[in-house]
Amino acid sequence: MPNTELPKLPRRKSGPKPLALADKRGHTVSVRLNSAELAELDAARAPVQMRRGEYLRQAWAGKLPPTIPSINREAWASLARVAGNLNQYQHALNAGEVTDGHPPDLIESLATQVQTLRAALLGIAESEATSEGQS
């Protein structure tokens, strides 16, 4: 009787692919902080939501993400709703559901201006915002 069992393949581990040997971080650097310094580090990293080690590594490399004020994040979220409404209105115009509305080029222009304003609130250059598409 022939063997009908499939050969057992090694199980693939879940998670991200392992880094190349040259990219693996194998060195540990310890730093001692007093309570005030630790509180200052935690306060600095809280807005960007990074772990302590990651924050220190990014700070050392000069690659910290910009800190966005909460008022800008709130305005960005509000403008997301405006952009969505403009998109729905434009879709209704294109589908012929609205016949006596605003000119489509005006709606498109408004949508572009809202997108530019949203990008400016996050500190993103206009060229980057248009390459990311509409949010």
One pLDDT digit (tens) per residue for the chain, 135 residues: 566 777 777 776 788 888 898 988 889 999 999 999 999 999 999 888 899 999 999 999 999 887 777 788 888 888 999 999 888 888 888 888 877 767 778 888 888 898 898 888 887 765 554 454 444
Last residue of a domain, one of 67, 83, 115: 67
Last residue of a domain, one of 67, 91, 119: 67
Last residue of a domain, one of 25, 46, 67: 67
Domain containing 90: what range? Answer: 70-132
Specify whether the CB–CB gap between 116 and 106 falls below 8 A. Answer: no
CA 92 – CA 72 distance, rounded (Å): 30
Is residue 51 domain-resident? Answer: yes
| 43, 84: one domain | no
Is residue 117 domain-resident? Answer: yes
Residue 83 makes CB contacts below 8 A (sequence gap 6+) with: 111, 114, 115, 118, 134, 135
| 88, 125: one domain | yes
Specify whether the CB–CB gap between 134 and 83 falls below 8 A. Answer: yes
| 61, 82: one domain | no
Entry pTM: 0.48
Specify whether the CB–CB gap between 129 and 117 falls below 8 A. Answer: no
Overall domain count for the chain: 2
| 124, 81: one domain | yes
Is residue 113 domain-resident? Answer: yes
